[in-house]
Chain A
Amino acid sequence: MNQKEKFFSLRARNISRCFGNIKANNSIDFSIEAGQIMALLGENGAGKTTFVRILSGLDQPDSGEILLNDQSVYFNSCRTAQKMGVGIIHQHFMLVQSMTVAENIALCDTDSSFIYSENKINDKMKKFEEEYGFFVNPNAKICQLSAGEQQRVEIIKALFRGTNVLILDEPTSVLTPQEADKLFVILQKMKNEGKAIVFISHKLREIMDYTDAVTVLRHGNLVGCRNVNDITQDDLISMMTGEKKVASIRKENVAVGENILKVASITVLDDRESKSIKNMSFEIKKNEIFGIAGIAGNGQRELVEAITGMRNVSSGKIFIYNEEVQNSTPKHVYSKGVAHIPEERIRFGIASGLKLFENTSIRNYEQRPYSKQSIMNYKAIKLKAQTIIEAFHVKTESVDTEIQNLSGGNMQKLIVGREMVDSPKLIVASHPTYGLDIASTKYIQQELLTKSKEGAGVLLISEDIDELMALSDRIAVVFRGELMGVLNREDVTIHKIGLLMAGEELSGENNNG
């Protein structure tokens, strides 16, 4: 099909793709028509990403074919797919951060002239922006834009290339609820223009509200394609997990006890020496789960690092049980009974080249019985590792397995086990369920609830608002290093959190932060 021909459908037939012994995609059929929004749903490892990579030419199937307007096509690279009007927006945006919006567009626009002309690009951009009702400043550098704005740049890029089928990989994971709504308005307009939209999502609410149809994958197999009007959220969950129903988790109301953590007007600098936490104060009490919501990059990482002793504060104090711990070391903080489930488990949670039992001893290798005058006692260490994998249901061959061979869910369970096995007093959990399947997610959430019931205080940082609402006693929203407000669980609504996440003040009496 050349670009001038009118697009009406994209189909995939019997697509299979193997990686080693793993069948990532097993004869999947897929079909989308012009003017349709289709969601692609499935747990982690269900093969969604593999499938959209094949659909957009980034990967090639072992067998099966792709049909564009009922004609067989072969995408040997994403460039071929782009030429035929199939484009993808990755979860991590393909933008050059230090360049301006217009330069990024010129980079991708095959029609742009050799001598870079900002005006020409601006004119063309304006045309699209008027058509779809949004605006991006062409002279702004990408790094100055919010995630939502960056996404709009990606959409403009796709429009410049004349994309007919737009594939989005988890487009709303980096957006506030309000920004997500705006995105769907744009997608709706594109749909009305006769374009086809495919997007991957975990969020059932979005799928029910904004799509026409949903294709569900499980373990690399096609479960089915349904019209959203014919199904309920519960149907989707059971299609996705293969189970009938998953019990929803919710924290019970408990009386909270004494102060465990007190953060008193701390200011923390980030790696670029600008203030990423500004004069922040809060307290966490015994039995309490304190949630922090916010879009990534608003100071969450620096806050966690300051509390766990990995980063110095430039002013203010941090108390654990009335003892000052700011500007000490992680070792000192851990010795006060603090457990830390770090974000990006592979980067910060484990040493991926080491074996499982070595990883479980990272916290306490210096203590007896695990070592004696610097001589390791591997028997005791392995015994401990064995207790952890049994107690926390980590699926592994043995404690001698290299940890990088564990799946994401098991890795995270192991980290959670290592941190929680000695009944910590304070648990700092950063995105503890990020990227995990539903079963592991529920397990880890349940573990957090159990520990808080037993008396631990929990600082829970997450981008998943549903998770925060289910687990937290209080939710604070962080925006540009400041707490925009602290909401008690009975006052929390998604709408309020969304407003605070975007940096807006709540006008009303419910804001008691």
Chain B
Amino acid sequence: MTWFVLIFGRFLVAGTPLLLGTIGEIYAEKAGNLNLGVEGMMAVGAISGFAFAHNTGNPWIGFILAGCMGGLLSLVHAFVTISLRANQVVSGLALTMFGVGLSGFIGNEYVGISLVPRFKNVAIPFLSEIPFVGEVLFTRSPVFYIAILLAVVFWYIMFRTKWGIIIRACGENPKTAESAGINVYRVQYTCVLIGGVCAGLAGAYISLYYIPTWIDGMIAGRGWIVIALVILSQWNSLKALFSCYLFGSIYVLQYALQGSFLNPTLLLMMPYLTAVTVLIVDSKKTLKYKTGSPTHLGEPYIK
């Protein structure tokens, strides 16, 4: 039983950074901006979170400043793609390369340090006393609760409020949004910023809780998985809850199954392989049904 709790707990830990990154990227994409720089923003989030937490001794300061750094980086992408109308794919790729490089550069002096100010697990009163479920779901790091809460709130805003209608209109048909008196550029800037902050927080979660140390390249492709997860979740943050924790479990199984009959190198491929499969299946599906993919995604809007 404890073994079971442990495995399930790891699923949730591994899925949380994916969830944070995914719900943020959903906002950017729903507003029509494809930001492929998630990997870079997560890397910068991870190192700045680690550095600030290490130097101030408070994981919360690290966590919040990491979000700010991710947001700052995303504003560069927003400026280049929205104001200057550069190609979003090129800008996003550049952001990833820049972010990963920058994190390695800053992180040089932190290599090998084990982080002391970590997030502690918080047991939610009463709920955590439920056998099994309480231990798995309600005795977790505070960031886990924040992520779940954000996913639900983000979903509500997107599909139940006027803001959501405005954001979706910008990604579907910006001309229509403009004619309804909406400042499309402002909406897109805001949503890209939300995506950047979330990616920064996701990175910080990895270096502050998941693997509380700094290793160069510790994001290890999670930013790319996030891009795939947005599609798998069909741009819906409630569905992202499911798909992100599914992928979290694949990460864990990759370690858990090591030493078994499967070659560990094969297991390392699993998240990527799954992502590619999902993309193929999904592209086949988009031909027939609308899956929530914004029509104007990736195209700069010119007034």
Contact = CB atoms under 8 A, between A and B. Distances in A.
Interface of A: 77-79, 82, 90, 94-99, 103, 106-108, 110, 112-116, 271-274
Contact of A94 (B165, B168, B176, B290): B176
26 contacts: A79-B181, A90-B179, A94-B173, A94-B179, A96-B172, A97-B173, A98-B172, A98-B295, A99-B168, A99-B172, A103-B165, A106-B165, A107-B165, A107-B169, A107-B176, A107-B180, A107-B182, A108-B180, A113-B162, A114-B161, A114-B162, A115-B160, A115-B161, A116-B164, A273-B287, A273-B288
Given A107-B180, A112-B162, A271-B287, 19 more contacts: A77-B181, A95-B173, A96-B172, A97-B173, A98-B168, A98-B172, A98-B295, A99-B168, A99-B172, A107-B166, A107-B176, A107-B177, A107-B182, A108-B180, A110-B181, A116-B164, A272-B287, A272-B288, A273-B287
Contacts of A106: 162, 165
A389 B290 CA distance: 46
B89 to A, nearest CB: 23
B177 to A, nearest CB: 7
A108 B165 CA distance: 10
By Cβ-Cβ distance, the 4 closest A-B pairs, closest first, are A79-B181, A94-B176, A108-B180, A94-B179
Contacts of A113: 162
B290 A96 contact: no
A79 B166 CA distance: 16
A97 B179 contact: no
Contacts of A82: 181
Contacts of B180: 94, 107-108
Contacts of B163: 114
A210 to B, nearest CB: 26
Main SS at interface, chain A: loop
Contact of A96 (B169, B181, B288): B169
Tell me if B's interface is mostly helix, strand, loop or mixed: helix
Nearest to B164: A116
Among the interface residues A78, A82, A98, A112, which one has the most CB atoms of the partner chain B within 10 A? A98
Contacts of B287: 271-273
A271 B160 CA distance: 32
Contact of A98 (B177, B179, B290): B290
B164 A96 contact: no
B186 to A, nearest CB: 14
A94 B172 CA distance: 11
Interface in B143-179: 160-166, 168-169, 172-173, 175-177, 179
Contacts of B166: 107
Nearest to B172: A96
B128 to A, nearest CB: 33
A97 B294 CA distance: 11
Contacts, number: 63
Nearest to B179: A94
B177 A97 contact: no
A97 B181 contact: no
A44 to B, nearest CB: 22
Contacts of B176: 94-96, 107
A148 B288 CA distance: 25
Which of A77, A99, A113: most chain B CB closer than 10 A?
A: A99
Interface residues of B, number: 22
Contacts of B169: 96, 99, 107
Contacts of B161: 114-116
Nearest to B292: A98
Max chain B Cβ within 10 angstroms of own Cβ: one of A79, A82, A94, A95:
A94
A78 B179 contact: yes
A271 B173 CA distance: 20
Nearest to B286: A272
B141 to A, nearest CB: 31
A312 to B, nearest CB: 15
B165 A116 contact: yes
Contacts of A116: 160-162, 164-165
Nearest to A83: B181
A110 B181 CA distance: 9
A108 B169 CA distance: 11
Contacts of B160: 115-116
Interface in B94-152: none
A141 B181 CA distance: 22
A112 B166 CA distance: 12
A98 B290 CA distance: 8
Contacts of B172: 96-99
A394 B168 CA distance: 46
A107 B179 CA distance: 10
A497 B172 CA distance: 35
Contacts of B165: 99, 103, 106-107, 116
Best-buried of B162, B163, B164, B290 by chain A (most CB within 10 Å) = B162
Contacts of A98: 168, 172, 290, 295
A3 to B, nearest CB: 15
A342 to B, nearest CB: 24
A78 B177 CA distance: 12
A11 to B, nearest CB: 24
A297 to B, nearest CB: 17
B153 to A, nearest CB: 13
Contacts of B290: 98
Nearest to A102: B165
A106 B162 CA distance: 7
Contacts of A273: 287-288
A97 B295 contact: yes
Contacts of B295: 97-98
A321 to B, nearest CB: 35
Nearest to A115: B161
Contacts of A97: 172-173, 295
Contacts of A90: 179
Nearest to B181: A79
Nearest to A90: B179
B165 to A, nearest CB: 5
A159 to B, nearest CB: 15
Contacts of B182: 107
Contacts of A114: 161-163
A347 to B, nearest CB: 16
A107 B287 CA distance: 27
Contacts of A274: 288
A95 B175 CA distance: 9
B285 to A, nearest CB: 11
